[in-house]
Structure 1
Amino acid sequence: MKTPGEKFREAVFETPGYLLKHDFPSYPENERRMIMKLCPVLLLVCAVSQGAILNAQASYELRDGYRVDNLFDYDASAPLEMQVGGLTLSTRREPIVSEGGEIRLHSEHGVVVLASFRPGVFGSFLALDPDGASVWFGESSQQNIYRVPLDASGPILSDRIALNFDMAFAPHNAPPGIAGRGFISGLGTSPENSLWLLDDDPEGENDEIISHISPFSGPIAFDEVGNLYLVTSGLTDRKTGGTSEKLVRFSPAQLAGALGNGALELSDGELLCTGMGGYYNIAWLDGKLYGTSLGFQTGMGSIDVIAPAMGFTRRPLARLSLHGTPGGSMLYLAARGGREGFEPGRGHYGGVLLASYGNYVDVSGISRFTPELYFLRGDVNDDASVDLSDAVSVIAYLFLDGENPRLAEASDINADGAIDLADAVYLLNFLYRGGPRPPAPFPKTGAARR
């Protein structure tokens, strides 16, 4: 009898190209599905297991105007059910991560354990509920989907979809029937990947919305008006042997029309682009689609920007290197918008991307991506100059119910991390008594100090 590893190698690695062969008729249904589910993970393990280096380091090649902070590092050699199994961001941009067999909220006050699973389970996704008061967690060990309140009251079994992979909620302004509803990609009861409607019934049969998407589970995301975007996974060009994954869009009306009326087919959607090889997660932020790439085509993981205004062409935001060499994979992805656009100069006001990376051998972690912040220190009233009126603005804000400063960083004139009377005094001392100048960025607009 062949081991699961031998079966996987025969099914995938002994076939030219990326996942050319996905017909496993000789294997039991549950084994075929598990092979499909584990393909991205096992490909990574086999690809890097030769000559793995300990004490790995991760770094990025970033587009100008952005910064990255490494938040968490993990034991990449831990069992799969103990590794990162999904992530999302709270409405306050706090990371929520499935890690170490637990779902943890990382707040400024410390770590809160929202749920604990013993034995551990192989996590598929974490998705924030539209009300912001709970997260949804899918796992493929028991095929369960849980709602997990952020008040730490414990997980609630809410649905069951076999080999679930990703989840997205339609926005509240979508048509009736789908507004605020959850949709899940996974195999379920179909022979290939499908899209299913969350029904909050672990025992009932879920409504299949889109069928026969691709042989392997793929990522999904909604834009702000309710269009659904999905990336097929595991499709192969029979002539070239290369990947032929596609980005496909379905309108809100199409999804609403499929409720209880029979599933749509992939061909019913609008084909936006091809060659989407190895995308693990996608997320909308500030009018653009971002995707984490496993790196099967380029040899290195990346976060790519997929711009609708440019015909859904792709360009990297960040390229991953491990041990100083391009490689590894970008995996889970979450996004949270800000009051300004996700563009250079906007800083944390422009929103945030949270992404996991690794190689399932000796590297695993989570990074946060934000735009660089550009400002002129001392320009409290945002008029592109630093003068007496800025000191007056600080005093008015502190004591006279004046307007809130647009940028707290610009108002922290002495750069001590607080806005107080000392900032106004510092500026007046500089302007009229020859005191020290404000710290950089000054006297010109520039990037915030790290």
Structure 2
Amino acid sequence: MGFLYFLEVIMRWALLSLLLIGFLSLCPAAESQTLYWIDGSDLVRYDATTATTTVLPTASAPLTLSVDESVGKIFYFRVPFALTSADLDGTNAAQVTTYPFGFEALAANPADQRLYWINAFNGQLLSIGYDGSNPQVVGGMFNTSGIGIDTVGEKLYLTNSQTGSITRRNFDGTGNEVIVAGGLGGPRDCCYDEVAGKIYWLTSSGATQRCDNDGSNIETIIPSALAPGVTHLVVDEIVGFIYLSTSAGFIYRAGLDGSNLIELYVDGTNISEIGIIPGTSSGPQFIRGDSNDDGGFDIGDPIGVLSQLFISGTEPLPCEDAGDTNDDGLINIADAIFALSSLFVSGSLAPPLPFPDCGEDPTDDALDCAESSNCP
């Protein structure tokens, strides 16, 4: 009886404090990704750690873009008709091949070190070695509008804007499989999440959608109104972010489920393409807010934090990072307040990433995560 009474007093005080002080501010996330994009006629590199941009040298305006960190190269098509490779800082540019019909959806494939692209005039899918060797027509006039690569399963995922479909093929174009037979709204700009087995794409109206790699669970995760003028999409499944470029010169970042959408960069003019060097996997995965490690986010989690703080003899939290609900790098009463707000106050913020799915902590802090039994 004494414990329950004490806990009720603490929770009442926490809710009252919430009403008095309002929402708690969030610390900015420390990141390790490097982004590349085309802004007007410029090829730009963005360091997410320092939030700085660098315009890289190009002989002429680039039109498409893809990055392969494993070989230290960026690839882009530039006017007139030249597919080009360069070092990650833009130096040592070299022509891979010429192609007079235009490039769309350039995709570098680390698994076979080949470049895949779409003929801009007829939707034909083509490929060539990074060094310009062995050019191939992978398939006929597919009306292909996007290329996603599964390097583990050795598959290409292809969106078709005319039929509203998604198909899957081997790297050489054989073994065609229908994943989504039709009904999608002009899908384009396909990306594949190899960790979760999810396919991402943009619709003709600019919404961001995804589904499982068998075509099930189709969902809109970012409506077009939340990120107007979207031009391109990339996925970092390791750290757990998606990035969107826009014709207004913005870069948006969100969780893999579309949550926690923010404007990461707002100083561009017309960003037409985006590429990424993903972050590295080095820390444990957990779900923020799941302080009691039961795989969910509910009233038991703020109770667990409050018990840890105020009840002598309470077992330590299995994962301190999960208990740091507001992501300020500390375990304190503010975490219980934030959790209670998220659970019970309409319009409140959800816990910061990683939430609601498992992921690494994007914030550098002193907290540890000894155990998170519901995450890999």
Provide the residue aligned with 1:117 in structure 2. 58
SS of alignment partner, residue 321 of structure 1 = helix
Provide the residue aligned with 1:222 in structure 2. 149
Provide the residue aligned with 2:366 in structure 1. none
Aligned-pair CA distance for 1:230: 1.2
Provide the residue aligned with 1:193 in structure 2. 123
**Matches for 1:163-182 after TM superposition, within 5 Å:** 163-170=102-109, 179-182=111-114
Provide the residue aligned with 1:207 in structure 2. 136
CA gap 1:102/1:441 in 2 versus in 1, 3 angstroms: same
- Check the 8 A contact 2:33/2:47 in 1, yes or no: no
- Check the 8 A contact 1:114/1:148 in 2, yes or no: no
> Which residue of the other structure, out of 302, 309, 318, is the alignment partner of 2:207?
302
Aligned-pair CA distance for 1:312: 4.5
Quote the Cα distance in structure 1 between the aligned partners of 2:212 and 2:55: 35
CA gap 1:318/1:381 in 2 versus in 1, 3 angstroms: closer
- Check the 8 A contact 2:75/2:86 in 1, yes or no: yes
Aligned-pair CA distance for 1:161: 4.8
CA gap 1:135/1:353 in 2 versus in 1, 3 angstroms: farther
Structure 1 unmatched ranges of 5 or more: 1-90, 172-178, 234-242, 259-263, 296-300, 339-348, 431-435
Quote the Cα distance in structure 1 between the aligned partners of 2:122 and 2:341: 60
Quote the Cα distance in structure 2 between the aligned partners of 1:138 and 1:209: 20
CA gap 1:403/1:246 in 2 versus in 1, 3 angstroms: closer
Provide the residue aligned with 2:264 in structure 1. none
Aligned-pair CA distance for 1:205: 6.4
- Check the 8 A contact 1:197/1:207 in 2, yes or no: yes
Provide the residue aligned with 2:160 in structure 1. 232
- Cα displacement string for residues 35-94 of structure 1 (whole angstroms, at most 9, x for unaligned residues): xxxxxxxxxxxxxxxxxxxxxxxxxxxxxxxxxxxxxxxxxxxxxxxxxxxxxxxx9334
* 1:144 and 2:54 aligned: no
- Cα displacement string for residues 132-163 of structure 1 (whole angstroms, at most 9, x for unaligned residues): x635332252233333433x262522412521
SS of alignment partner, residue 386 of structure 1 = helix
- Check the 8 A contact 2:158/2:167 in 1, yes or no: yes
Q: What code does the residue aligned with 2:136 have?
A: D
Aligned-pair CA distance for 1:354: 0.7
Quote the Cα distance in structure 1 between the aligned partners of 2:212 and 2:324: 31
Stretch deviating more after TM superposition (135-144 or 277-286): 135-144
**Count of residues in correspondence between the two structures:** 273
Q: What code does the residue aligned with 1:232 have?
A: N
Q: Which protein shows a greater Rg?
A: 1
Q: What code does the residue aligned with 1:352 have?
A: F
Quote the Cα distance in structure 2 between the aligned partners of 1:317 and 1:197: 31
Aligned-pair CA distance for 1:129: 0.9
* 1:98 and 2:48 aligned: no
CA gap 1:136/1:118 in 2 versus in 1, 3 angstroms: closer
CA gap 1:117/1:128 in 2 versus in 1, 3 angstroms: closer
CA gap 1:403/1:305 in 2 versus in 1, 3 angstroms: closer
Provide the residue aligned with 1:270 in structure 2. 177
Q: What code does the residue aligned with 1:288 have?
A: K
SS of alignment partner, residue 138 of structure 1 = strand
Quote the Cα distance in structure 2 between the aligned partners of 1:407 and 1:329: 35
- Check the 8 A contact 1:166/1:220 in 2, yes or no: yes
**Matches for 1:58-73 after TM superposition, within 5 Å:** none
CA gap 1:405/1:437 in 2 versus in 1, 3 angstroms: closer
Structure 2 unmatched ranges of 5 or more: 1-30, 261-286, 295-299, 345-349, 354-376
Quote the Cα distance in structure 2 between the aligned partners of 1:245 and 1:443: 41
Provide the residue aligned with 1:134 in structure 2. 72
Aligned-pair CA distance for 1:184: 1.4
Quote the Cα distance in structure 1 between the aligned partners of 2:201 and 2:43: 25
CA gap 1:275/1:439 in 2 versus in 1, 3 angstroms: closer
Provide the residue aligned with 2:363 in structure 1. none
Aligned-pair CA distance for 1:220: 0.7
* 1:409 and 2:319 aligned: no
CA gap 1:114/1:137 in 2 versus in 1, 3 angstroms: farther
Quote the Cα distance in structure 1 between the aligned partners of 2:310 and 2:34: 33
Provide the residue aligned with 1:293 in structure 2. 203
Quote the Cα distance in structure 2 between the aligned partners of 1:222 and 1:437: 39
CA gap 1:227/1:407 in 2 versus in 1, 3 angstroms: same
Quote the Cα distance in structure 2 between the aligned partners of 1:124 and 1:156: 15
Q: What code does the residue aligned with 1:332 have?
A: H
Q: Structure 1 length normalisation: TM-score? A: 0.50
- Cα displacement string for residues 205-264 of structure 1 (whole angstroms, at most 9, x for unaligned residues): 6222223323xx52111234112111234xxxxxxxxx4243221135xx2xx7xxxxx6
CA gap 1:294/1:106 in 2 versus in 1, 3 angstroms: farther
- Cα displacement string for residues 276-328 of structure 1 (whole angstroms, at most 9, x for unaligned residues): 45323011122111101122xxxxx211123345x446432122128xxxx96
Query: What's the C-alpha RMSD, in Å, of the aligned pairs?
Result: 4.1
Q: What code does the residue aligned with 1:164 have?
A: F
Percent identical residues: 13
Quote the Cα distance in structure 1 between the aligned partners of 2:245 and 2:342: 36
